[in-house]
Structure 1
Amino acid sequence: MPNKILLTGFDAFGGATLNPSWLAVKALHGRQVLGHTVVAAQLPTVFDASLLELNALLKQHRPALVICVGQAGGRSALSLERVAINVNDAPIADNAGVQPVDTVVKQGAPAAYFTSLPIKAMLAALQAQEIPAEVSQTAGTFVCNHVFYGLMHLLATRRDLKHTRGGFVHVPWLPEQGTPSMPLDDIVRGLRLAVRCAMLVQHDAVLGAGTTS
């Protein structure tokens, strides 16, 4: 039975000197969550190369749970991403100078994948501890979405990962990066709560037939 939890963050990009996604997951490296060991790894903010690294990490660790984490400047809460789309459309160049426009992440693959994390349960757990959190309907079209989509495609198509669940969380800037922001300690605490909830809850409750939106 897999006894690892894989958390990934990104290196700094766009002229920045740090990335809170990596600082936060690095702070959780080696922690124990419900008998599982957290493994933190850094992905390059580079199209294609990020997925090659993620694939290697999945083969090495065969985790029970994978949460990829990225920075979302302008957001004020931990954003639990619902859906990854099969589109690369970069507003800026990645760290290798590549800037794809309207290309696919994976040729011949579905248009989108939903997260397999219990994002509504995670939202409730975070809000109960007064950590700003939200369910997000878009992970963008930069390297974060590229990795999110690539992760979900791997989990959907690799037999050795059929019991692995995964998804993506965006975190705000740190205070020294600008506003809105969130202190690193709060981001770390929120991610740890999110991981614990994802390990305890397999699926969000299905809405009843009489429920309306």
Structure 2
Amino acid sequence: MKKVIVSAFEPFDNVKTNPSYEAAKLLPKRIGEADIEVIRLPVVFGVAASLLAKRIEELRPDAIIMLGVAGTRTKITPEVIAVNINDARIPDNKGNSPRFEKIDTAGDDGIFSTLPVTEMVEEMTKEGLSSELSYTAGAYVCNDLFYRIMNYLKTKGLSIPAGFIHVPNPSDSEGDTKSELSISEIARGIKICIETIIGR
């Protein structure tokens, strides 16, 4: 039986919920031949990645999907690359606020996702779900997690498909920017991504 880890984040910036985790909670426990494990991570630089890396070490999954919310976007956006920079526009949930700091002074400037991102977008689009590739995961905790996990896998020599997907605020969100997608449709998009990954 295959195993897939799906990580998502707790709320931050004075909001009550985080759509990434709300969508992840709606995923079935099994998709195709894969058991799905959902992990809720803190919005804290470095700590989120440490917790996820520990679970990866314990479980040795067949794929890793990291989720986060992009409140200014209206589509589901698989990320192409993680960049080696932290630059917080707001403090994280522990008050950390790094400004234009390298995540790893000895690390690569960028590390590409190893998920089939173009296929994932194609499959979501076929199902009528708004989706497109993104070439920037920002410089906040989402990108920090993305970069650190990709760097961890590379350093450990683990060839586990992994990458990050940003989800938008759902249609019933109180945010200024929201998508036409309901939270259940966002969850369906993530399920399609998982099916695309494990079906390869």
Give the TM-score, by structure 1 length: 0.89
Secondary structure of 2:15's match?
coil
- The equivalent position to 1:168 in structure 2, one of 164, 170, 174, is 164
CA displacement at 1:166 relative to structure 2: 0.3
Deviations 1:104-156 (A, max 9, x none): 11220100000001111111100000000000010000000000101111121
Distance in 1 (CA, whole Å) between partners of 2:116 and 2:81 is 13
CA displacement at 1:29 relative to structure 2: 5.4
Letter of the 2:54 counterpart: A
CA displacement at 1:11 relative to structure 2: 0.3
Q: Unmatched 5+ residue regions in structure 2?
A: none
Q: Unmatched 5+ residue regions in structure 1?
A: 202-213
Moved over 6 A (4+): none
- Number of equivalenced pairs: 197
Matched, 1:55 2:53: yes
Distance in 2 (CA, whole Å) between partners of 1:48 and 1:135 is 25
- The equivalent position to 1:156 in structure 2, one of 147, 150, 154, is 154
Q: Which has the larger radius of gyration?
A: 1
Deviations 1:8-43 (A, max 9, x none): 00000001110010111122252x223110000011
Secondary structure of 2:111's match?
strand
Letter of the 1:126 counterpart: M
The answer to whether the 8 Å contact 1:26/1:41 transfers is: no
Give the TM-score, by structure 2 length: 0.95
Identity of aligned residues (%): 31
- The equivalent position to 1:180 in structure 2, one of 157, 178, 181, is 178
